[in-house]
Amino acid sequence: MGKYFGTDGVRGRANDILTAELAFALGRAVATVWVKEHQQECKRPQMIIGRDTRLSGTMLESALAAGLCSCGVNAISLGVIPTPGVAVLCRHYNCPGAVISASHNPFADNGIKFFSEKGYKLPDTVEEEIESYIDSPVNVCRPAPADLGTVFYVDEGRKIYLDFLKSQVAVDLTGLKIVVDAANGAAAGLGEELFASLGAQVVTLGGVPNGININDNCGSTHPENLALAVVRHKAQIGVALDGDADRLILVDEKGNIVDGDHTLAICAADMKERGKLNNNTLVITVMSNMGLHIAMKEHGIRLEETKVGDRYVLERMLEKQASLGGEQSGHLIFNDYNTTGDGLVSALHLLAVMSRSGKPLSELAKIMKSLPQVLVNVPVKHKEDFDEDADIASVINEVKQTLKDRGRVLVRPSGTEMLLRVMAEGEDEQELKQLVKMITAVISKKRGA
């Protein structure tokens, strides 16, 4: 991670860490990099900007757009649109894009991340170059008044993305009742329109954003209300997205929560059976449940494991030419369809498996059995080099020795928040809770916020 960029763009509390000044500086810096790459072309460079429903979104969009325009780049404002929709529109307009969103984080946070004209997140080397211009503003582009950029507002973005979604997976949802929780975020209204257009009866939750209720006790990070609604409405499935709709968590017809690992297992096995799983490979992260490893071995599917972060999953997918990868949290990448995690594309694929198999989600989810996992997030003052602290390293090693081959422990810094995440996995949940408590107590004592 760089000085400003984390694992998923520049993140922070709005108007505190992520200020209008920083957004403006980011706009100038990314514009300078973009202009330098395309200085031989006659046409004026442009960049699309999408955002989620956070109250701070318009402030940051205005500042980012001003930075772009000050360096001679036109800003095309798409308004509220899911992150994967921006990736699609980068390819449609053949220009890079920016997304103003903090994904699954609370409304007070926000973030800015960038995509290339091919719809891929920027590599570390480009982010480092952008950071260099933030720290050395004297070197940014300063065109003459006649060469300044301007802002264009377009309202076709959501329709283009919706048409893209409808074209991806051929599935008839007639007779199916679906409950969709859009997390009061960027996909509010989109999921309902998509599934209804394919014949489903749709019940909507989290579809009335007001700027501060994004991810608030709803969406993929809080699927409990969705589970209750699925049972209450006697629906066949529940679909939970996060604030920018790049994650998917499901609920089966019995009200059971189905996480990203189970969805990956279901789709990977189906794709293998149909000859669609490139190189017979599924890319996962170190946070994936051991039950997924067991299930994929039984199905003869090879696993590639990366560190946490959908950008690292995608990098390995491209390296191994894999067609499917993702995270337990619900970031699922169907690389033959979109270049980033896409909750609605993922839902369509899962619904297609249900349609082809004739099986309910509860039956499909039996493909794997999750081993107990205990995950605790510890707020810290600083998360870097935590493993170099002798006391923290000692207690982690003690827990590893206790578990040995009966399970595992993983401690890692969050890529988007000032947290250390402590996860233990094994057969005895009560033992895991005690072991995690040992580690978190030492972390809180040494680095607690």
Active site residues: 103
Cα dist from 376 to 210, 345, 422, 433, 438, whole Å: 30, 30, 5, 9, 11
Neighbours of 319 (CB within 10 A): 11
Using DSSP, how many helices (H) and how many strands (E) does the chain show? 14, 18
CA quadruple 359, 287, 183, 201: dihedral, nearest 10: -10
Instruction: Give me the residues paired with residue 421 across strands.
Output: 377, 412
Q: Could you give phi then psi for residue 101, rounded to 5 degrees?
A: -165, 150
Query: Which residues contact residue 154 at a Cβ distance below 8 angstroms, ignoring those fewer than 6 apart?
Result: 76, 77, 78
CA dist., res. 227 & res. 254, Å (int)? 8
What is the Cα–Cα distance from 404 to 408, expressed in whole angstroms?
A: 7
Give the closest residue to 100 by CA, choosing from 58, 160, 150, 154.
Answer: 58
Planar angle of CA 282, 413, 183, nearest 5 degrees: 70
How far is it, in rounded angstroms, from Cα 239 to Cα 379? 30
Q: What is the Cα–Cα distance from 226 to 206, expressed in whole angstroms? A: 10
Residue partners of 408: CB distance under 8 A and separation at least 6: 290, 400, 424, 425, 426
Here the tokens at position 85 are: 């929709």
**236 three-class SS:** coil
Contact 394, 277 (CB under 8 A): no
Cβ atoms of 12 and 109 within 8 Å: the answer is yes
Phi, then psi, of 68 in degrees rounded to 5: -60, -50
User: Cα separations (Å) of 28 from 3, 144, 150, 406, 410?
Assistant: 17, 15, 13, 52, 39
Which sign, positive or negative, has the C-alpha torsion 239, 242, 245, 248? negative
- Residue 222, strand partner residues: none
Virtual CA dihedral for 114, 119, 120, 123, nearest 10 degrees?
Answer: -50
